[in-house]
Amino acid sequence: MSSALDITRAVNPPRAAFLDYPLGHTTGKPHEPALQREILWQALEAFTSLTIPGTVKMLPFTWSEDQAWQATAQRGPDDRRPRYDTPQYQTEEDRQRAAAGMPCSA
Amino acid sequence: MVLAIGATWDCWQHGTRMSQQRRKSLGHTWYRNELRSRGGAMPVDYIPRIQEKYAQEGYPAYQWVVNPDPPPWQPLRRPLAECRLGLVASGGIYVTGQVAFHYKDDTSFRVIPTDVKTTDLRATHFAYDLTDARQDPNVVFPIDTLRGLVSEGVIGALAAHAYTCMGGIYSARRVREELAPQLTERLLAERVDTVLFVPV
C-alpha cells in the first residue's frame, strides 16, 4: 500500500496499490469499516491482477471532492514533531506498563 | 518500506543512465501527465516537500532510495484465499505494555499477535497527524479489516504475528542491513506466502 506515489515509484517495489489519502490513512478513513474493507480488498486484488513488475495499481478512492488537503500537504507548515530519542508513549499509562515490564516488545 | 539499493533522487530525476522506456515506466512525470489527461487530482509530490523540510532544519540532502532496475518478481503460488498473509506496517504502532518507538532513527520493531485486541493498540510517530490512527488504528494497521477478510474467505489466514516499525529512518542502509533482514527472517519462519506492507 502507498499514499505517497512519488516515493513508491522511486523505491519501485514489485507491486503496489496507491491510495490518494493524506499521510496517516494508508488503509482508509477512521471508523469506516466498509470503506476500509473495500480499499483493502481492491489493494489485495493486485496480488493476482498485476503481472508486470513495478506496476502501481491506482485505487479509485478520493478523500474529499475538493481534495483541499493536498494543497496543505504540499505547501503547509512543517508540523513534524522533534526527533526525540526516548520512547514516545501515547499515554502515561502505557509508559508505566512498559516500565513495569509487561510483556512482549521485540 | 524501503528495502533495497539506495541512490540519489537527483540521479534518478535526471536519469542520464536510463533508457527512455525505463524512465517512462518509473517516471512520476509520466504518471502526473497521465492523471492530468484523465482530469484526475494530482498526487502530492512528497520528495521535494520533504527535501525542503530537511533543508530548513539544516540536514544534509536525504538520499532517497531509488531502484531503477526492474524489481524481482514472484507470482503468488496459490490463490489468495489459500495464502497465509503477513503484515508489516511502519506507522509506529505498538501494544500497550510494549516499549514505544522513539523518533530518532529507531530501527527496532514490535511483534504484535494478530489476535490482539484493537483497543490495546497505540500509535506514535513524528511525521504524521496521529489523531485518526489513535481513534482507529485500522487506518495505518488494518488488523480488523484483515481479520474480516479472513472470515469472508478472501484471505486464507493471517500469520500469527504482525510486525511494526517507525518510519523516517534517516539511513536507508540501516533499514536494509539491520531491520529488513530481521523482518524477513521472522516472516519466513512464520511461513507466510505473501506480505502486505503498509508504510506511512
Interface of B with A in 26-85 (CB under 8 A): 26-28, 31, 41-47, 49, 53, 56, 64-76, 79-80
The residues, any chain, with a CB within 8 Å of residue B168's CB and separated by 6 or more, are: B103, B125, B126, B127
Q: Is A55 exposed, middle or buried (0-12, 13-18, 19+ CB in 10 A)?
A: middle
Average pLDDT for B133-140? 98
Interface of A with B in 2-41 (CB under 8 A): 2-7, 9-14, 18, 20, 22-31, 33, 36-37, 40-41
Task: State how many domains chain A has.
Answer: 1
Q: Is residue A54 part of a domain?
A: yes
Q: Which residue of A has its CA nearest to B99?
A: A98
C-alpha cell, B79: 490463490
Instruction: Please list, residue by residue across A4-27, b when 16 or more beta carbons sit within 10 angstroms of its beta carbon and e when fewer do.
Output: bbbbbbbbbbebbbbbbbbbbbbb
Q: Is residue A72 part of a domain?
A: no
Beta strands in chain B (DSSP E): 84-89, 93-95, 109-113, 121-123, 157-158, 161-165, 194-198
3-class DSSP state for residue A59? strand
* Cell 489476535 belongs to residue: B115
Q: Is residue A66 part of a domain?
A: no
Higher pLDDT, B18 or B163: B163
C-alpha cell, B18: 536510463
Expressed as residue numbers, the domain containing A8 is 1-61
**Which pLDDT value is given to residue B42?**
85
Task: Kindly tell me if the per-residue pLDDT of A76 is higher than 60.
Answer: yes
C-alpha cell, B66: 531509488
pTM greater than 0.90:
no
**Which pLDDT value is given to residue B51?**
84
Q: Is residue A17 part of a domain?
A: yes
Neighbours of A52 (CB within 10 A): 10
Q: Is residue A41 part of a domain?
A: yes
Q: Is residue A73 part of a domain?
A: no
Task: Kindly tell me if the per-residue pLDDT of B190 is higher than 90.
Answer: yes
The tens digit of pLDDT for each residue in A23-56 reads 999 999 999 999 999 999 999 999 999 999 999 9
Q: Which residues of A touch B199 (CB under 8 A)?
A: 1-2, 4, 26
- Mean per-residue pLDDT over chain A, rounded: 93
The tens digit of pLDDT for each residue in B17-62 reads 344 444 444 445 555 555 655 555 689 999 988 888 888 878 787 7
Average pLDDT for A60-87? 90
Q: Residue B67 to residues A79, A100, B12, B70, B197: CA-CA distances in angstroms?
A: 29, 44, 9, 8, 17
Q: Is residue A30 part of a domain?
A: yes
Q: Residue A46 to residues A29, B75, B104, B197: CA-CA distances in angstroms?
A: 21, 11, 34, 13
Q: Which residues of B touch A63 (CB under 8 A)?
A: none
Higher pLDDT, A91 or A81: A91
| Residue in B56, B12, B65, B49 with CA at minimum distance from that of residue B174 | B65
Q: Which residue of A has its CA nearest to B27?
A: A9
Q: Is residue A91 part of a domain?
A: no
The tens digit of pLDDT for each residue in B81-119 reads 999 999 999 999 999 999 999 999 999 999 999 999 999
pLDDT band with cut points at 50, 70 and 90 for residue B167: confident
